[in-house]
Amino acid sequence: MNKIKLTVFWLARALGLFAACRRLTAAKVRILCYHGGCLGDESSYNPKLFCSSAMLAQRMQWLKRKGFTLVPLAEAAASARRPAAARSALTTAITFDDGWYSTASELVPVLGKLGIPSSLYLCTSHYLEGWAIPSVAVRYLIWKSGLQSVQLHGLGSADGSVELGTPAQRNAAANRIVAAIDASLPQRDTKHAMLEQLASCLKVPSSALALSTRRFEYMREAQLLALAEQGCTVELHGHVHLYPAGDPAAFEADLRQCSDTIVGAGLPRPTHYCYPSGNFDAAASPVLERLGVLTGTTCLPGLITQASATQSHYLPRFLDGESIAMLDFEAEMSGFSELLRKAHPLQPA
Protein backbone atom coordinates (compact mmCIF):
# COMPACT_ATOMS: atom_id res chain seq x y z
CA MET A 1 0.00 0.00 0.00
CA ASN A 2 2.84 2.37 0.85
CA LYS A 3 4.50 1.70 -2.52
CA ILE A 4 1.25 2.51 -4.29
CA LYS A 5 0.90 5.74 -2.32
CA LEU A 6 4.46 6.82 -3.09
CA THR A 7 3.94 6.01 -6.77
CA VAL A 8 0.86 8.24 -6.78
CA PHE A 9 2.88 10.98 -5.07
CA TRP A 10 5.73 10.63 -7.58
CA LEU A 11 3.34 10.97 -10.50
CA ALA A 12 1.54 13.91 -8.87
CA ARG A 13 4.82 15.72 -8.30
CA ALA A 14 6.00 15.00 -11.86
CA LEU A 15 2.74 16.42 -13.22
CA GLY A 16 3.19 19.62 -11.21
CA LEU A 17 0.38 18.91 -8.75
CA PHE A 18 2.57 19.48 -5.69
CA ALA A 19 3.51 22.93 -6.96
CA ALA A 20 -0.13 23.68 -7.81
CA CYS A 21 -1.24 22.63 -4.32
CA ARG A 22 1.39 24.86 -2.73
CA ARG A 23 -0.04 27.80 -4.64
CA LEU A 24 -3.62 26.88 -3.74
CA THR A 25 -2.83 26.42 -0.05
CA ALA A 26 -0.26 29.18 0.31
CA ALA A 27 -2.46 31.09 2.78
CA LYS A 28 -2.84 28.07 5.08
CA VAL A 29 -0.54 27.65 8.07
CA ARG A 30 1.51 24.53 8.80
CA ILE A 31 2.95 23.22 12.06
CA LEU A 32 5.66 20.55 11.93
CA CYS A 33 6.70 18.26 14.78
CA TYR A 34 9.94 16.43 15.55
CA HIS A 35 11.19 14.67 18.66
CA GLY A 36 14.74 13.55 19.44
CA GLY A 37 17.94 13.42 17.41
CA CYS A 38 20.36 10.54 16.88
CA LEU A 39 23.53 9.87 18.87
CA GLY A 40 23.67 6.28 17.64
CA ASP A 41 21.19 3.90 16.04
CA GLU A 42 18.10 5.36 17.72
CA SER A 43 16.37 6.08 14.42
CA SER A 44 16.65 2.40 13.42
CA TYR A 45 15.04 1.43 16.72
CA ASN A 46 12.26 4.05 16.70
CA PRO A 47 12.17 6.17 13.52
CA LYS A 48 9.09 8.07 14.72
CA LEU A 49 10.80 9.23 17.91
CA PHE A 50 14.35 9.87 16.68
CA CYS A 51 15.71 11.37 13.48
CA SER A 52 19.14 12.34 12.18
CA SER A 53 20.39 15.89 11.84
CA ALA A 54 21.03 15.17 8.14
CA MET A 55 17.36 14.29 7.60
CA LEU A 56 16.20 17.44 9.38
CA ALA A 57 18.61 19.58 7.34
CA GLN A 58 17.26 18.04 4.13
CA ARG A 59 13.68 18.86 5.13
CA MET A 60 14.49 22.44 6.13
CA GLN A 61 16.48 23.14 2.98
CA TRP A 62 13.58 21.86 0.86
CA LEU A 63 11.16 24.16 2.70
CA LYS A 64 13.44 27.12 2.07
CA ARG A 65 13.86 26.28 -1.62
CA LYS A 66 10.10 26.02 -2.10
CA GLY A 67 9.39 29.40 -0.55
CA PHE A 68 7.98 28.43 2.85
CA THR A 69 7.98 31.22 5.43
CA LEU A 70 9.46 29.70 8.60
CA VAL A 71 8.33 31.64 11.67
CA PRO A 72 8.07 31.22 15.45
CA LEU A 73 5.08 29.26 16.72
CA ALA A 74 3.46 32.37 18.23
CA GLU A 75 3.69 34.19 14.91
CA ALA A 76 2.27 31.22 13.00
CA ALA A 77 -0.70 31.05 15.39
CA ALA A 78 -1.32 34.78 15.06
CA SER A 79 -1.00 34.58 11.28
CA ALA A 80 -3.65 31.86 11.09
CA ARG A 81 -6.20 34.22 12.63
CA ARG A 82 -5.61 36.94 10.05
CA PRO A 83 -7.42 37.19 6.70
CA ALA A 84 -5.73 35.12 4.01
CA ALA A 85 -4.54 38.19 2.13
CA ALA A 86 -2.63 39.37 5.22
CA ARG A 87 -0.58 36.19 5.65
CA SER A 88 2.89 35.32 4.37
CA ALA A 89 3.06 32.50 1.87
CA LEU A 90 3.25 28.97 3.27
CA THR A 91 3.69 30.09 6.86
CA THR A 92 5.22 27.22 8.86
CA ALA A 93 6.30 26.69 12.47
CA ILE A 94 8.79 24.01 13.56
CA THR A 95 8.19 22.33 16.92
CA PHE A 96 9.91 19.66 19.01
CA ASP A 97 8.23 17.44 21.58
CA ASP A 98 9.47 16.13 24.93
CA GLY A 99 12.89 17.65 25.67
CA TRP A 100 15.48 15.08 24.61
CA TYR A 101 19.13 15.93 25.14
CA SER A 102 19.69 15.00 21.49
CA THR A 103 17.11 17.58 20.41
CA ALA A 104 19.39 20.23 21.89
CA SER A 105 22.67 18.66 20.77
CA GLU A 106 21.73 17.45 17.28
CA LEU A 107 18.55 19.07 15.94
CA VAL A 108 18.13 22.63 17.20
CA PRO A 109 21.65 23.54 15.98
CA VAL A 110 20.59 22.58 12.43
CA LEU A 111 17.83 25.18 12.61
CA GLY A 112 20.09 27.70 14.30
CA LYS A 113 22.59 27.52 11.44
CA LEU A 114 19.78 28.04 8.93
CA GLY A 115 18.24 30.91 10.90
CA ILE A 116 15.00 28.98 11.47
CA PRO A 117 13.09 29.60 14.74
CA SER A 118 11.48 26.75 16.65
CA SER A 119 9.65 25.80 19.83
CA LEU A 120 10.17 22.94 22.28
CA TYR A 121 7.18 21.49 24.12
CA LEU A 122 8.82 20.34 27.37
CA CYS A 123 7.62 17.47 29.59
CA THR A 124 8.96 18.76 32.90
CA SER A 125 8.88 15.61 35.07
CA HIS A 126 11.46 13.84 32.89
CA TYR A 127 13.46 17.07 32.64
CA LEU A 128 13.68 17.26 36.44
CA GLU A 129 14.47 13.55 36.95
CA GLY A 130 17.84 13.65 35.22
CA TRP A 131 18.13 10.00 34.19
CA ALA A 132 17.50 7.90 31.08
CA ILE A 133 13.80 7.39 30.35
CA PRO A 134 13.18 3.73 31.29
CA SER A 135 10.21 3.20 28.94
CA VAL A 136 12.40 4.13 25.95
CA ALA A 137 15.73 2.64 27.05
CA VAL A 138 14.17 -0.70 28.02
CA ARG A 139 12.40 -1.08 24.68
CA TYR A 140 15.62 -0.15 22.89
CA LEU A 141 17.50 -2.92 24.71
CA ILE A 142 14.84 -5.51 23.90
CA TRP A 143 14.97 -4.43 20.25
CA LYS A 144 18.76 -4.44 20.22
CA SER A 145 19.04 -7.93 21.72
CA GLY A 146 16.85 -9.69 19.16
CA LEU A 147 16.32 -12.51 21.69
CA GLN A 148 13.19 -14.64 21.73
CA SER A 149 13.33 -15.13 25.50
CA VAL A 150 15.50 -14.12 28.45
CA GLN A 151 16.08 -15.02 32.08
CA LEU A 152 16.13 -11.80 34.07
CA HIS A 153 17.96 -11.44 37.38
CA GLY A 154 19.00 -8.51 39.52
CA LEU A 155 15.93 -6.51 38.50
CA GLY A 156 13.72 -6.96 41.52
CA SER A 157 10.07 -7.63 40.68
CA ALA A 158 10.94 -8.14 37.01
CA ASP A 159 13.15 -11.17 37.69
CA GLY A 160 12.27 -14.45 36.05
CA SER A 161 11.80 -16.00 32.63
CA VAL A 162 10.41 -13.62 30.00
CA GLU A 163 9.20 -14.39 26.49
CA LEU A 164 10.10 -11.90 23.74
CA GLY A 165 8.97 -13.69 20.59
CA THR A 166 5.99 -11.53 19.63
CA PRO A 167 5.26 -7.78 19.75
CA ALA A 168 2.68 -8.38 22.51
CA GLN A 169 5.19 -10.37 24.57
CA ARG A 170 7.88 -7.75 24.10
CA ASN A 171 5.51 -4.98 25.14
CA ALA A 172 4.36 -6.90 28.22
CA ALA A 173 7.98 -7.60 29.15
CA ALA A 174 8.92 -3.96 28.70
CA ASN A 175 6.04 -2.83 30.91
CA ARG A 176 7.08 -5.30 33.61
CA ILE A 177 10.71 -4.19 33.55
CA VAL A 178 9.86 -0.48 33.43
CA ALA A 179 7.58 -0.91 36.46
CA ALA A 180 10.46 -2.48 38.39
CA ILE A 181 12.84 0.34 37.45
CA ASP A 182 10.23 2.99 38.28
CA ALA A 183 9.76 1.40 41.73
CA SER A 184 13.48 1.64 42.52
CA LEU A 185 15.15 4.51 44.34
CA PRO A 186 14.72 7.83 42.46
CA GLN A 187 18.42 8.20 41.79
CA ARG A 188 20.29 8.35 38.50
CA ASP A 189 22.88 5.78 39.58
CA THR A 190 20.20 3.30 40.65
CA LYS A 191 18.17 3.63 37.44
CA HIS A 192 21.22 3.38 35.22
CA ALA A 193 22.60 0.39 37.14
CA MET A 194 19.32 -1.44 36.50
CA LEU A 195 19.47 -0.58 32.80
CA GLU A 196 23.05 -1.88 32.65
CA GLN A 197 21.92 -5.07 34.40
CA LEU A 198 19.11 -5.49 31.88
CA ALA A 199 21.62 -5.03 29.06
CA SER A 200 23.78 -7.76 30.58
CA CYS A 201 20.81 -10.15 30.81
CA LEU A 202 19.91 -9.40 27.18
CA LYS A 203 23.55 -9.82 26.08
CA VAL A 204 23.73 -6.23 24.81
CA PRO A 205 27.19 -4.70 25.42
CA SER A 206 27.33 -1.67 27.68
CA SER A 207 29.00 0.18 24.80
CA ALA A 208 25.89 -0.39 22.68
CA LEU A 209 23.59 0.95 25.39
CA ALA A 210 25.94 3.95 25.67
CA LEU A 211 24.16 5.70 28.55
CA SER A 212 27.11 8.09 28.89
CA THR A 213 26.07 9.78 25.63
CA ARG A 214 22.73 10.77 27.24
CA ARG A 215 20.93 9.42 24.20
CA PHE A 216 17.85 8.42 26.24
CA GLU A 217 17.86 11.41 28.60
CA TYR A 218 16.27 14.83 28.54
CA MET A 219 18.27 18.01 28.46
CA ARG A 220 19.29 19.73 31.67
CA GLU A 221 18.93 23.35 32.66
CA ALA A 222 22.08 24.51 30.83
CA GLN A 223 20.88 23.06 27.53
CA LEU A 224 17.36 24.35 28.12
CA LEU A 225 18.53 27.92 28.70
CA ALA A 226 20.87 27.76 25.68
CA LEU A 227 17.96 27.06 23.33
CA ALA A 228 16.98 30.74 23.26
CA GLU A 229 20.32 31.63 21.67
CA GLN A 230 19.31 29.46 18.70
CA GLY A 231 15.81 30.88 18.38
CA CYS A 232 13.98 28.09 20.23
CA THR A 233 11.29 28.95 22.78
CA VAL A 234 10.17 26.54 25.51
CA GLU A 235 6.47 25.69 25.79
CA LEU A 236 4.15 23.30 27.65
CA HIS A 237 3.97 19.52 27.18
CA GLY A 238 2.59 18.81 30.64
CA HIS A 239 4.46 17.87 33.80
CA VAL A 240 3.78 14.18 33.20
CA HIS A 241 3.56 12.80 29.69
CA LEU A 242 -0.12 11.95 29.99
CA TYR A 243 -3.30 13.90 29.25
CA PRO A 244 -5.82 13.27 32.08
CA ALA A 245 -8.93 12.88 29.95
CA GLY A 246 -12.15 13.74 31.76
CA ASP A 247 -10.35 15.33 34.71
CA PRO A 248 -10.01 19.11 34.15
CA ALA A 249 -8.76 19.71 37.70
CA ALA A 250 -5.88 17.27 37.22
CA PHE A 251 -5.14 18.82 33.83
CA GLU A 252 -4.96 22.31 35.33
CA ALA A 253 -2.69 21.15 38.15
CA ASP A 254 -0.42 19.39 35.66
CA LEU A 255 -0.18 22.49 33.45
CA ARG A 256 0.55 24.77 36.39
CA GLN A 257 3.35 22.51 37.55
CA CYS A 258 4.81 22.36 34.04
CA SER A 259 4.60 26.13 33.61
CA ASP A 260 6.07 26.87 37.06
CA THR A 261 9.01 24.55 36.38
CA ILE A 262 9.80 26.33 33.11
CA VAL A 263 9.57 29.75 34.77
CA GLY A 264 11.67 28.45 37.66
CA ALA A 265 14.45 27.66 35.20
CA GLY A 266 14.56 31.36 34.28
CA LEU A 267 12.51 31.23 31.10
CA PRO A 268 9.41 33.26 30.11
CA ARG A 269 6.04 31.84 31.12
CA PRO A 270 4.91 29.53 28.30
CA THR A 271 1.68 30.22 26.42
CA HIS A 272 1.46 27.27 24.01
CA TYR A 273 0.68 23.61 24.73
CA CYS A 274 1.02 20.26 22.98
CA TYR A 275 -1.13 17.27 23.97
CA PRO A 276 1.03 14.30 25.08
CA SER A 277 0.63 11.47 22.56
CA GLY A 278 -2.04 13.58 20.87
CA ASN A 279 -4.74 12.68 23.42
CA PHE A 280 -7.32 15.37 24.15
CA ASP A 281 -10.98 16.02 24.86
CA ALA A 282 -13.45 18.92 24.91
CA ALA A 283 -12.63 19.70 28.55
CA ALA A 284 -9.15 20.92 27.60
CA SER A 285 -10.09 24.23 26.02
CA PRO A 286 -11.71 25.91 29.09
CA VAL A 287 -8.67 25.01 31.19
CA LEU A 288 -6.23 26.35 28.60
CA GLU A 289 -8.31 29.50 28.26
CA ARG A 290 -8.35 30.05 32.02
CA LEU A 291 -4.56 29.69 32.25
CA GLY A 292 -3.88 32.04 29.34
CA VAL A 293 -2.56 29.31 27.04
CA LEU A 294 -3.10 30.55 23.49
CA THR A 295 -2.82 27.34 21.47
CA GLY A 296 -2.92 23.58 21.81
CA THR A 297 -1.52 21.30 19.13
CA THR A 298 -2.66 17.76 18.39
CA CYS A 299 -1.13 14.88 16.43
CA LEU A 300 -3.75 15.11 13.70
CA PRO A 301 -2.32 16.13 10.32
CA GLY A 302 -3.78 19.06 8.44
CA LEU A 303 -3.43 22.68 7.36
CA ILE A 304 -4.69 25.58 9.47
CA THR A 305 -7.24 27.91 7.90
CA GLN A 306 -8.70 31.08 9.38
CA ALA A 307 -11.80 29.04 10.29
CA SER A 308 -9.89 26.24 12.01
CA ALA A 309 -7.71 28.82 13.80
CA THR A 310 -10.78 29.77 15.84
CA GLN A 311 -10.36 26.34 17.46
CA SER A 312 -6.88 27.37 18.57
CA HIS A 313 -6.67 24.77 21.34
CA TYR A 314 -6.97 21.89 18.86
CA LEU A 315 -4.63 22.82 16.01
CA PRO A 316 -3.47 20.15 13.53
CA ARG A 317 0.20 19.32 13.22
CA PHE A 318 2.26 17.01 11.01
CA LEU A 319 4.54 14.54 12.81
CA ASP A 320 7.64 14.09 10.69
CA GLY A 321 10.50 11.65 11.26
CA GLU A 322 12.77 9.01 9.76
CA SER A 323 9.68 6.83 9.20
CA ILE A 324 8.33 9.41 6.72
CA ALA A 325 9.68 9.25 3.16
CA MET A 326 10.86 12.53 1.66
CA LEU A 327 8.17 12.23 -1.00
CA ASP A 328 5.52 11.77 1.70
CA PHE A 329 6.86 14.88 3.46
CA GLU A 330 6.68 16.91 0.23
CA ALA A 331 3.10 15.77 -0.39
CA GLU A 332 2.03 16.75 3.12
CA MET A 333 3.75 20.12 3.19
CA SER A 334 2.59 20.99 -0.34
CA GLY A 335 -1.04 20.39 0.62
CA PHE A 336 -1.49 17.45 -1.75
CA SER A 337 -2.10 15.00 1.13
CA GLU A 338 -4.69 17.38 2.56
CA LEU A 339 -6.45 17.34 -0.80
CA LEU A 340 -6.53 13.52 -0.71
CA ARG A 341 -7.88 13.50 2.85
CA LYS A 342 -10.72 15.79 1.83
CA ALA A 343 -11.48 13.65 -1.20
CA HIS A 344 -11.51 10.50 0.99
CA PRO A 345 -12.49 11.71 4.49
CA LEU A 346 -12.84 8.17 5.88
CA GLN A 347 -9.32 7.23 4.83
CA PRO A 348 -7.06 6.89 7.91
CA ALA A 349 -4.30 9.49 8.20
Per-residue pLDDT reduced to its tens digit, 15-32 = 999 999 999 999 999 999
pLDDT at 241 over 60: yes
Q: How confident is the model at residue 348 (pLDDT cuts 50, 70, 90)?
A: very low
Compute CA distances 234 → 56, 117, 149, 224, 284, whole Å: 19, 12, 42, 8, 20
Q: Which range, of 80-89, 157-166, 244-253, 323-332, averages the lowest pLDDT?
A: 80-89
At 236 the pLDDT is: 98
